[in-house]
Amino acid sequence: MSAMKRAILFVWQASAIAAVVLVCLALGLRCLGVETVPVGRRIELGERRARRGERFTAAMGLQAVMWGAGVMLAVYGASALYCAVEYDRVSWELFCQVWSRADAVHYRSLAELGYHGYIENGQHLFLVFFPLYPWTVRLLACVIPDYALCGHLVSALSYMAGCWVFARLVTEEFGWRTARLSLGLFSAYPFGFFFAAVYTESLFFLLSVTAFYCIRRHRYLLAGVTGALAALTRMQGAFLLLAGLAEYLVSERPLEKLRGRRWRALWGDVWKKLLPLALMGAGTAVYLWLNWDVEGDMFRFAYYQREHWYQYATPMHRCLATIWNELTDRAAPRLAGTVWLPDTAVFILCL
């Protein structure tokens, strides 16, 4: 690697890590009750103005659901048009074939065969796929005996319901105009077509945004239940617990209660807020039990992730270095433009 590339990579890594550290520091200070930091001038850590939200009405909810339905119909319609142009015919079998790509095949097979029955090379390689989505598809298949149709129904209906919750959250925080814009931008995300596939994206969207809505409204029991279901859908669902704890620390100020020796209030927080939030861990616990039930090892998924799927935890700077190396790899320019450049852009925008 040339000196220029090494310098750019160092700046890229340092900037990203510094951004993460600053965000964590600001959140930590907020949790400690610090509202401003005097650094030459006073820097506001929190938003002091009142929310500019509106009351979410049934008409708004209907519009949000119809928007979600329209997005699903547009995506499915585009795939039907693709079948007509590419294969000169449109049929349900061809439609399913077009959508049966990559992990969609595995989720459908898990719904049909279960974790014990779906084996490759004598190994349960697909323990790495979290179970709530295939279990939901399997449950629906008891009524509709077509696993492909059930998979698309779960994805489409979850997306539509998720749009309703998402619109309500943003409307009550910032107003209906911002909610409509947010839904439009969310649906225009380049990889948003995954919401229509037999993937976990739609179900996770519904459960995670519902858990977050309950956290913001301090409905901690519902947040714990929906957060547990989100953690049973994707690994990232476990991080909703951090969002719940952050909201509790910022809004309830437990350190002030501790300094004031308000023991009864603290004990009430434990029973009414912290224990319900801890329910989120139940989703991860069920997934670990599934690993033990299938292979007798609660952490067997980690072995398959590392040895077969080549996915494992790594320090942030190494992850950024990998992205940079793939982005600048001249041997695969198509992957650089279609995968790693969008990946880099999303990474920066999220920070």
Contact 291, 297 (CB under 8 A): yes
Whether 76 and 82 have beta carbons less than 8 Å apart is answered as no
Task: Give me the pLDDT at residue 42, please.
Answer: 60
Q: What is the model's pLDDT at position 199?
A: 93
φ/ψ of residue 30, rounded to 5: -60, -45
Query: Which amino acid is it at 219?
Result: R
Please name the residue that has the structure tokens 């065969």.
113
Q: What is the pLDDT of residues 290-330, one digit of tens each?
A: 999 998 889 898 888 888 877 777 777 788 788 878 887 77
Split at pLDDT 50, 70, 90, the class of 40 is low
Query: Is it the case that residue 137 has pLDDT exceeding 90?
Result: yes
Q: Which H or E element spans position 191?
A: none
**What is the average per-residue pLDDT within 189-205?**
90
User: Which position has the higher pLDDT, 255 or 97?
Assistant: 97
Distance, CA of 133 to CA of 140 (rounded, Å) = 11
* CB 123 within 8 Å of CB 300: no
Asked if residue 229 has pLDDT above 90, the reply is yes
As a residue count, the chain comes to 351
Closest CA to 236 of 190, 203, 213: 203
Q: How confident is the model at residue 100 (pLDDT cuts 50, 70, 90)?
A: confident
Segment 160-182, tens digit of pLDDT: 999 999 999 999 999 999 999 99
Query: What would the mean pLDDT of 240-261 be, rounded to a whole number?
Result: 83
Q: In this structure, how many other beta carbons lie within 10 angstroms of the beta carbon of residue 162?
A: 25
Residue 180 pLDDT: 94
Asked whether residue 41 carries a pLDDT value surpassing 80, the answer given is no
pLDDT above 80 (res 134): yes
pLDDT band at 1; cut points 50, 70, 90:
low
- What is the band of 147 on the pLDDT scale with cuts at 50, 70, 90? very high
Q: Which residues of 32-49 are buried (b: 16+ CB within 10 A; e: fewer)?
A: eeeeeeeeeeeeebeeee
pLDDT above 90 covers a percentage of the chain that reads 43
Average pLDDT of every residue of the chain: 86
Contact predicate 168/61, CB 8 Å? yes
- pLDDT-derived band at 43 (thresholds 50, 70, 90) equals low
| Per-residue model confidence as pLDDT tens digits over 45-62 | 555 544 567 889 999 999
Confidence of residue 33 (pLDDT cuts 50, 70, 90): low
